[in-house]
Amino acid sequence: MADLFVCLTFDHDNTSSMISRDFTTPTAISRGDFGIAATARILKLLNDERIPTTWFIPGHTIDSYPSCVAAVHASGHEIGNHGWTHRVPSTLGPEGEEEELVRGNESIIRLTGRAPRGYRSPAWDLSPVSIDLLLKHGFAYDSSMMGHDYLPYQARNGDKTPLLEPMIFGPDTPLVEMPISWSLDDHPHFEYMRSPAGIMPGNMNARMVIENFINEFRYMKKHYKWGVLTYTFHPHVIGRGHRMLMLEHMITTLRAEGATFITMEAGVEEYRRKFPNGLSLRP
């Protein structure tokens, strides 16, 4: 019998992602505020379906929307570090990146009483020092890289990537990578955005997008006896009514297909049981 696990994860950004991009008009802020109503809808669905999930929450959201994030914690979901300001780590320098990690941890500890075990980079762009910082601050796993789709693996550190010479792969580290993909993230499919860089159209047909998400699990089921598949949602994006209906449909379908829903922290433990010596992506 196959052991096929699904992690539903939520990047609970609210206004933090808007402010970090200097989108601070009242209308832009109101788009983040929609995360309040959306979170209540999502939590009700997850409670009705008895599904444990992982929420990556910036410290800015925790400190700005206390009742909203308190409801997530009270519902028993795992809370991971997602920075404090939602700025991209690769733009901050080592000291700035560490300050984000520490401040984000402090906000989570005030909310939950414990340090987070997992981290997800805002915009999924780690810096060359990110792995060292995550290990220094006691993280068990990261969820920002894309080296596989169904198998967690040990994060490498210190790759050398010269342009005109073969790549030199760095050593594996104790940090477990829980891989993700832009194709399984709701934001690029659904969220309409205007910026100086151009227009991100979004507003894709929800049924078609969710069918792609479901088929990703079906492929894993067809070709793997064991795997962990991670989906990424944002409350203020997936929380629209017609998308909530599709999320409910996705949960029902995946459960019927044999998925077991777990938190990312539980996924790490399943991975360690399956691969006690770790899994390497080194060629």
- In whole angstroms, what is the distance from residue 247 CA to residue 42 CA? 9
Domain-located, residue 103: yes
Burial 104-114 (b: 16+ CB within 10 A, else e): bbebbeebbee
pTM for the full predicted model: 0.95
Domain-located, residue 282: no
Domain-located, residue 205: yes
Per-residue pLDDT of the chain (283 residues; tens, 9 = 90+): 569 999 999 999 999 988 888 888 999 899 889 999 999 999 999 999 999 999 999 999 999 999 999 999 999 999 999 999 999 999 999 999 999 999 999 999 999 999 999 999 999 999 999 999 999 999 999 999 999 999 999 999 999 999 999 999 999 999 999 999 999 999 999 988 777 777 778 889 999 999 999 999 999 999 999 999 999 999 999 999 999 999 999 999 999 999 999 999 999 999 999 999 999 998 8
> What's the structural domain count of the chain?
1
Question: What is the distance between the terminal CA atoms of the chain, rounded to a whole angstrom?
Answer: 30
Domain-located, residue 29: yes
Beta bridge partners of 260: 5
Decide if 82 contacts 56 (C-beta within 8 A): yes
For residue 135, which amino acid is it?
L
Domain-located, residue 280: no
Q: Which two tokens stand for residue 150?
A: 């169904």
Domain-located, residue 140: yes
CATH (domain of 25):
3.20.20.370
Domain-located, residue 212: yes
Domain hosting 193: range is: 3-274
Domain-located, residue 199: yes
Beta bridge partners of 176: 141, 154
- In whole angstroms, what is the distance from residue 46 CA to residue 76 CA? 10
